[in-house]
Amino acid sequence: MKDLDNLLPLKPEGKGSKKIQNRGKSFGYQVLGFGSGGAVSAFATDFLVVAGGGAGGDYNHGAGAGAGGFRTSAGPSGGGASAECSITLNSGITYTVTVGPGGAAQTSGCLSSVAGSDITTISSAGGGRGAWSSSSTGQPGGSGGAINGSGTACQGYDGGTAGGSIPNNYPQGGGGGASEAGANGAGTTGGKGGDGVSSSISGCAVTYGGGGGGGTYKHQATTGTPGAGGAGGGGNGSYGQAQAGTANTGGGGGGGERCGTPTHAGGVGGSGIVFLRYPSGMEATIAPGTNTIGCAPGGNKVATFTVTGTLAVA
């Protein structure tokens, strides 16, 4: 699991300064549009965009699901990528923020994004679902579902593969996470889901984008060991009803297993989340009321989106 450095507080260089810097870092916010007594019109803004995680597989092959894609300008992104450039938000523009839901039964997660008329859309891909039968494979996504689902470059990692020897009841691989691939199933043990990435963009270190653990079997007198979910909201695998990915983390659902009846379903994916952090000189309103604007270190503000909404810059 990766841990992003806390971004140090931001402060103006001095009275009348035209620039806000991030102390001790090679990058920082730049507030554009100051004139002699003029209003601020453009603001460099950091983002974290996490998509919804996929659902774990069930039926004979309960493979763990991939986490939702992880993109950020506030530290390393998923897939081992370096931080992206911040975006510039402008006065008078309303930005649409989409928060992707997690995948329902046997489906992949949905994308999260930040879009506006004056910016290139920032979009993270939904996590891939885990394989759900002996003839299926995991799906690609921000992070890939097991079996053999591929992750998206700079957003997440691949899902693991199956192992074991009992026909149609293999212990399954774990889903990919934002910082590492899902582990392969081996012997009687399901693969662990890949870990996510820790971000402090909200002011607190929280891990997002964990893959779902691989399911296993209960066959006659033999019971396998399910795979654990990856750090960052990944659901645990099971030989019964698997655990869901945690809401607003982009965690992948754990893989379940079916041995006769009833069906032991995979866990559904966890929904995504989006953060936008900007200087205190920027005035904005957020909708709907489920989403919030709060304080961040150094007098900055952070808009937190747990559901799809808008950010209107004054």
Q: How many domains does the chain have?
A: 1
State CA 151 to chain mean position distance. 12
Structural domain contains residue 283: yes
Kindly give the pairing relationship between strand 10-12 and strand 20-22: antiparallel
Collapsed DSSP state (helix, strand, coil) of residue 298: helix
For residue 58, the model assigns a pLDDT of: 83
Say if residues 68 and 51 touch (Cβ distance below 8 Å): yes
For residue 132, the model assigns a pLDDT of: 79
> Containing domain of residue 308, as a range?
2-48+272-313
For residue 259, the model assigns a pLDDT of: 59
Give me 228's structure tokens. Answer: 């654990």
pTM: 0.87
For residue 284, the model assigns a pLDDT of: 96
Say if residues 247 and 268 touch (Cβ distance below 8 Å): no
Say if residues 81 and 33 touch (Cβ distance below 8 Å): no
Structural domain contains residue 24: yes
Query: Of how many residues is the chain composed?
Result: 314
For residue 207, the model assigns a pLDDT of: 98
Structural domain contains residue 267: no
Structural domain contains residue 160: no
Mean pLDDT by 10 residues, the chain (314 residues): 40 34 37 46 96 89 93 96 97 98 95 98 98 82 95 98 64 94 91 97 96 83 85 94 96 82 81 97 95 92 98 96
For residue 164, the model assigns a pLDDT of: 62
**Gap between the Cα atoms of 25 and 160, Å rounded:** 37
Say if residues 65 and 266 touch (Cβ distance below 8 Å): yes
Structural domain contains residue 301: yes
Structural domain contains residue 101: no
Structural domain contains residue 37: yes
Structural domain contains residue 117: no
